[in-house]
Amino acid sequence: MKTKQLFTLVLTVVLVCACKTSPFTGKKTLNFVSNDQLFPLAFQQYDQFLSENNVVTGTADANMVKRVGEKIAVAAERYLTALGEPGYLKDYRWEYNLVNDDAVNAWAMPGGKIVVYTGILPITQSERGLAMVMGHELAHALADHGAQRMSAAQIQQGVGLGVAVGAGLSDTTPAQQQAVMQLYGVGSQVLGMLPFSRSHETQADEIGIVIAAIAGYDPYEAANLWKRMKANSGGQAPPQILSTHPSNDSRIANLTRMAPVAVKEAAKFGVTDFN
């Protein structure tokens, strides 16, 4: 069997065997990195990050971050139980910290480790706004987006090797090899990795707004938050096709569409008052 054919066969087997069903969509996802592999590493990196940065404790804002995180995590467990996944969160170790940093950002690591930067608080403006941010970040952790991106990166590298083999680059000059691989790198990013990343952001928006609503936070605040984010950016953003995130306008439109859906989902859990 030729090397190219063998590579294609192995890659196909990996893709078929590496699918995991999402409890949120019922669809197969690309994921061959187990929680047993990923979570300990994420927890270690999170602890290291906290040790190297200025964690805010004991303030009203720090307490608010922990309060919102705890409420949303409880809502996530209720939601997953209703989806038929009562044990889904058994390996998660939730932690929510406020870090003194001017960056307008928040992020989550696999396994439920979340950081909010102080720089985003003037834009969230309230506990409701913060809940929309933290719901989004928590959704990344719930949906295994970290593992999926690691899996996709490994596939990207593997396909790159296949391109090199298939193109017969061993018989070409270094300049020709570099040109072919650069074309592959750009193409795989614009047509593969970036749309993959944008789909994760959209999914985290949609899962996060529902969970925040189940936690008792007004889902209509999500679109308002992104209007403020858009205003804060001053219109400075790359074209959506070149970005890891959907455009602000796309997010505002999608979150506006999702708000009444989230209201209906929250009502199933007896949550009808968002005040």
- Give domain limits for the chain: 35-267
The span from the CA of 189 to the CA of 195, in Å, is: 8
Residue 22 burial (CB < 10 Å; 0-12/13-18/19+)? middle
**Three-state DSSP class for residue 122:** helix
Chain-centroid distance of CA 220 in Å reads 21
Q: How confident is the model at residue 224 (pLDDT cuts 50, 70, 90)?
A: very high
pLDDT value of residue 173: 54
Alpha-carbon distance values, 76 to 86, 139, 143, 265 (Å) = 10, 9, 11, 12
Question: β-strands 106-109, 113-117: how paired?
Answer: antiparallel
Residue 38 or 66, more confident: 66
**Please, where are the H alpha helices in 143-235?**
145-166, 174-188, 194-214, 221-233
Q: Quick one: how far is CA 129 from the chain centroid? A: 18
Strands 113-117 and 95-99 come out as: parallel
**How far apart (Å, rounded) are the C-alpha atoms in residues 237 and 104?**
14
Confidence of residue 95 (pLDDT cuts 50, 70, 90): very high
Measured distance CA(111)–CA(28) in Å, rounded:
20
Give the per-residue pLDDT at 202: 86
Per-residue pLDDT band at 143 (split at 50, 70, 90): confident
Q: Classify the C-alpha dihedral 147-152-156-159 as positive or negative.
A: positive
Which tops the pLDDT comparison, 138 or 167?
138
Residue scoring higher pLDDT (152 or 185) = 152
pLDDT for the residue numbered 21: 76
| Residue 137 designated active-site | yes
Please give the single-letter amino acid code of residue 2.
K
Distance CA 174, CA 34 (A): 38
Q: Is the pLDDT of residue 259 over 50?
A: yes
Supply the pLDDT for residue 163.
43
Q: Residue 25 is which amino acid?
A: T
Contact 163, 183 (CB under 8 A): no
Q: How confident is the model at residue 7 (pLDDT cuts 50, 70, 90)?
A: very low
Which residue did the predictor score with more confidence, 129 or 188?
A: 129
What is the model's pTM?
0.75
Band the pLDDT of 247: cuts 50, 70, 90. Answer: confident
**Does the pLDDT at position 87 exceed 70?**
yes
Q: How big is the CA angle at 211 (ends 226 and 68), to the nearest 5 degrees?
A: 75
Residue 149: which pLDDT band, with cuts at 50, 70 and 90?
low
Least confident of 23-37, 66-80, 180-194: 180-194
Q: Catalytic residue among 77, 95, 137, 265, which?
A: 137
What is the DSSP code string of 49-106?
HHHHS-EE-SSHHHHHHHHHHHHHHHHHHHHHHHTT-TTTTTT---EEEEE---SS-E
